[in-house]
Amino acid sequence: QVQLVESGGGSVQAGGSLRLSCAASGYTYSSYCMGWFRQAPGKEREGVAAIDSDGSTIYADSVKGRFTISKDIAKNSLYLQMNSLKPEDTAMYYCAADDRWWLLQRGGADYWGQGTQVTVSS
């Protein structure tokens, strides 16, 4: 059974940076595709970034050039480096894992963390 736990969220001013972490247990990142999603109040959950088993990455247009997704197989951890944060980035951020790349790209996953809050003030 896979368990995901996010950390690193917080409150920052616009233009600041945060680094989110997702610690996984029960599997390794060498066999699972991983992704970050976010959901703001009153809005649907949206994909932010994802990384497959080979290290290929995809990003939402709204975060390209500002966010970087990475993983550390030895530590069973996923990361999201967020730079040049904007108030529009304010949301609950979730870590997700699945062995199906096509499903993760469509916003689906078998395993989800409980989220970490990111708040960006202007």
Position 118 scores a pLDDT of 98
Kindly state the percentage of the chain with pLDDT values over 70.
96
Q: Read out DSSP for 53-109?
A: TTS-EEE-TTTTTTEEEEEETTTTEEEEEE-S--GGG-EEEEEEEES-HHHHHTT--
Q: Average pLDDT of 88-108?
A: 92
Q: pLDDT digits over 7-55, tens only?
A: 999 999 999 999 999 999 886 656 688 999 999 999 999 999 999 988 8
**What average pLDDT does the chain have?**
93
Position 58 scores a pLDDT of 95
